[in-house]
Amino acid sequence: MKVSKEILVTSFLSIFITLLLVSFIKSTQKNDINEYAYIALYKKDGRINVSKVIKGEKLFKNINPQFYLLKTKSDSITLQNISLYDDKFKPFPTKERFQNSDLNYWLKVDLGTNFPSGRFIYTYDGIDGIDFSQSSIKASQSLEKFNFNGKKNIVFTYRKGDDPSIYYFKLISKKDDANLVFISVSTMDRFYSYINKTLPLRFFLGIIIGIVIMAGIYNGAIYFFNRDRAFLYYALMQLFMVQTLILISGLLVCSKSYMLFSSESYYNFIVLATALFAGLFAIEFLDIKNFSKVLFLVFQVALILIALDMIIGIFDHSFILKYHLLPILILPLLYAGYKRAQAGYKAALFYLAGWISLGITTFIDGYRIDYERYLISPLFIGVPVEAILFSLALSYKMRMIAKEKEEQKELLIHQSKLASMGELLGNIAHQWRQPLTFLGYTFMNMKETLKSSQFDKKYFEKKLDEAEKQLLYLSQTIDDFKDFYVPKKEKEIFSLHEAIKETLEIAKDMLISNDIEIDIILREDRQLYSYKNDIKHVVLNLLTNAKEAFVERKVKNPKITISIDKNTITISDNAGGIDKNIIEHIFEPYFTTKEGNSGIGLYISKMILEKNLQATISIDNGKNGIVSKIEFL
């Protein structure tokens, strides 16, 4: 299979830029552990495995807090009698799961004899349920709770010798499948020092999220005005992507629990919703339904699976997220973009580059490749790169749509002229019939004169002059119609009265054969520098519509009045008007109440006036019929 040069260049460039940016965020590593103790536990198969304990070099160097766990079915244990059950506490196991709702869990923390006095911040994640209303921390220790950086934090004061070194906490059982669980303790100075050091990073994250938000708003606005579903699906995809980034960034800070927004169910929902709308966006943007039935079937199956997993994830674990299948789901998106680009759809090149960038970072994030060394998730690089590239792809699609609309508009204009050509060709034939008959009689008389041998030079010169006049008339008739049907790309100076008279000359036979009286009222003429044939085309459409109404309704004494008053041309008839419900739709393309009519005449007339002549047209009912008003700016 031959791969185009554009696809190769786009793919390699996307990979290079993404890896370059990912290496940038990898360069800042978490080396500052002074005044900081960190216990990391990784979950595997639903159980917690203690993997590492990091202690600071100074303050926490010689301390060794001990963690103990009590599992019981008894509801009689309270903070008041918990110390009586000390012998039932066991050292915190290397493997444990807090998912049995039939058990009560109690955590005992022994700070030991070397823990220093001070006010400390305890940060934890993965163990969601600590009931601080049932903890042995005294009121004098000024307990505070807050969420920061996507983690839960408590802060309280410990005075060595005055405050107890042993604390009890009631744990709340909850199904949780987070990969990383940790508990850390730091001094207030170290905690706020860390915040200050990471302020530029947080500013950077805010800019990234802002880019994604603006991409979503921009494409949502485009959908509102254009009704192209690709823009709607992309806007919704970015909406859920923003929520995902906010959750994993830790930019959301609040003094109470996250409630819904911190739950695993909510995280499952927004991540899978992002994937769902990504698939819908791909189907619409790449027109997969019409491009490949096999690919369309694959996308349908994938979207159904994602939707089912969203429902499952609300009540239980998401299989897609649990087994890190998101990077695999990106493969059909990449393949579809590659096939569409290979088929010559250039907008797919930007689409392909965007998914390559997002696919790489999703893979790194999903499979935790060298994960501890990154200060932020690689998704914060992949998502804005994808947003920029997808916006370029959608902009390119808009350009293609605009070009197609322009071509379609030109085709409609051509069709409009062709629709009236049959009738006008009849006019030409009728206008030619009398001169041709006259020429036939002239040549016959000249031939008979030659046979009689009565040659009269003056007679022949007279007949030749008459024949020449008829030929000039035939030639002028052809020129009139030829000029009308051949579009002129250059503007010219002409008067409205002049354009109206030329239009009536073209429509003369149509008007005469239907006994239509024409009345021209010239109040004040106007010179225009524009396209004369365009205004002739519009006026001819209005005259033809009036003629058809006269014929259909068998109007006696049909009459059309054309008034020219500087900036306005008013064309009125006495055909009886039109239903008010129909008037609202007469400028819509392909709208017609007549069988066999294309329904594009008035639509094209409106487009021509607005685009080429900077004019507007309105149609309403008058006293005796329709009044069409063309106003020039």
Measured CA to CA, the distance from residue 36 to residue 191 in angstroms comes to 9
pLDDT-based confidence at residue 418 (cuts at 50, 70, 90): low
pLDDT at 179: 46
Greater pLDDT, 492 or 443: 492
Please write the tens of the pLDDT for every residue from 55-100: 555 556 666 777 788 888 888 898 889 989 998 998 876 556 555 6
Residue 260 pLDDT exceeds 60: no
Measured CA to CA, the distance from residue 173 to residue 129 in angstroms comes to 7
Residue 122 pLDDT exceeds 90: no
For residue 293, the cross-strand partners are none
Greater pLDDT, 55 or 511: 511
Residue 236 pLDDT exceeds 50: yes
Average pLDDT over the chain, rounded to whole? 75
Residue 249 pLDDT exceeds 80: no
List C-alpha distances in Å: 551 to 113, 176, 391, 503, 610: 109, 79, 54, 20, 30
Please write the tens of the pLDDT for every residue from 145-176: 877 766 778 888 889 889 988 989 887 765 54
Q: Using the structure block, give the residue that is written with the tokens 């493997």.
A: 95
Provide Rg for the chain, Cα atoms: 41
Greater pLDDT, 58 or 261: 58
Contacts of 602 (CB under 8 A, 6+ apart): 541, 545, 586, 587, 619
Name the H helices within 318-456: 319-322, 326-342, 347-366, 379-451
Contacts of 336 (CB under 8 A, 6+ apart): 282, 286, 288, 292, 295, 299
Residue at 176: amino acid letter: D
Q: What is the mean pLDDT of residues 403-426?
A: 65
pLDDT at 12: 55
| Cα dihedral sign, 280-282-288-292 | negative
pLDDT-based confidence at residue 560 (cuts at 50, 70, 90): very high
pLDDT at 419: 58
Greater pLDDT, 601 or 48: 601
Residue 27 pLDDT exceeds 60: no
Q: For 533-563, b where at least 16 C-beta lie within 10 A, e where not — what string? A: bbbbbbbbbbbbbbbebbeeeebeebbbbbb
For residue 155, the cross-strand partners are 121, 144
Q: Considering only CA atoms, which of 124, 114, 110, 117 is closest in space to residue 157?
A: 117
Residue 181 pLDDT exceeds 60: no
Please write the tens of the pLDDT for every residue from 8-22: 554 555 555 555 555
Q: What is the mean pLDDT of residues 538-565?
A: 88
Among 41-45, 305-309, 399-403, 413-417, the least confident range? 41-45
* Winning range, highest mean pLDDT, from 149-153, 305-309, 415-419, 478-482: 305-309
Please write the tens of the pLDDT for every residue from 135-148: 888 888 888 887 77
Measured CA to CA, the distance from residue 553 to residue 626 in angstroms comes to 14
DSSP annotation of 115 = P
pLDDT at 33: 43
* Winning range, highest mean pLDDT, from 28-32, 226-230, 391-395: 226-230
Classify the phi-psi angles of 149: left when phi > 0, otherwise alpha if psi is within -120 to 50, otherwise beta: left
Residue at 563: amino acid letter: S
Q: Using the structure block, give the residue that is written with the tokens 């030409």.
A: 428
- What does 484-524 look like in DSSP terms, one character per residue? HHS---S-EEEEHHHHHHHHHHHTHHHHHHTT-EEEEEEEE
With helix as H, strand as E and coil as C, how does 14-39 read?
HHHHHHHHHHHHHCCCCCCCCCEEEE
pLDDT at 28: 45
Alpha carbons within 13 A on the beta-carbon side of 98: 23
Tell me how crowded residue 323 is: count the other CB atoms within 10 A of its CB. 11
Q: Considering only CA atoms, which of 17, 380, 352, 386 is closest in space to residue 234?
A: 386
Measured CA to CA, the distance from residue 22 to residue 30 in angstroms comes to 16
Please write the tens of the pLDDT for every residue from 593-633: 665 555 667 777 888 788 778 889 988 888 888 899 999 88
Residue 370 pLDDT exceeds 50: no
Q: Can you read off the two tokens belonging to residue 460?
A: 């022949």
pLDDT at 304: 92
pLDDT at 571: 92
Q: Considering only CA atoms, which of 280, 534, 232, 222 is closest in space to residue 402?
A: 222
Residue 570 pLDDT exceeds 90: yes
pLDDT at 368: 56
